[in-house]
Amino acid sequence: MLFGKKKRLITRLLLVEDEPLVAFDTEHFLRDAGYEVIATVDRVADALAVIGASDEIDLVLVDISLADGSGIDVARAAHGAGVPVLFVTGACPEGGREVAAGCLSKPYAQRDLLTAISAIEAVLGGKVPKRLPNGFNLFVDVA
């Protein structure tokens, strides 16, 4: 019997982050972990354009404070398109439960980001997550 990795439900990510170093590090880390980063953008307008033009996004990772507005607007658009959202931000926003699958507080360890994505993936697959990282709130009713 051969053992292999389970097929991921989440493989294609949109990263919305306006801190260049954080965006660069996160993008490369996620690619090294086997995810496909569809785009990395730093503005609400650019994120909305990517969401509107692509049906190949499995999860949006979005900061709240962006140069041209709020990541909550990005989350609303993604939620409206049926794409789950993970807020990655210094403080989880009020009202985030309505439009996101969860929130991971900055600063976070890279392994915590992977664990948060895995937890959302588990819920999307109808399973209970094995563990939740520190600083992560899973909004089960939305995921």
Query: pLDDT digits over 7-42, tens only?
Result: 788 999 999 999 999 999 999 999 999 999 999 999
DSSP 23-35: HHHHHHHHHHTT-
pTM: 0.91
pLDDT of residue 3: 57
**Tokens 């660069």 label which residue?**
24
pLDDT at residue 4 greater than cutoff 80? no
Quick one: pLDDT at residue 55? 85
For 89-117, letters b (16+ CB in 10 Å) and e give beebbeebbebbbbbbbeebeeebbbbbb
Relative to beta strand 85-89, strand 102-105 is: parallel
Residue 143: is its pLDDT beyond 50? no
d(CA 89, CA 78): 17
Domains, the chain, ranges and CATH?
Answer: 12-138 (3.40.50.2300)
> Where do we find the tokens 């969401």?
51
* Half-sphere exposure (Cβ direction) of 132: Cα atoms closer than 13 Å: 15
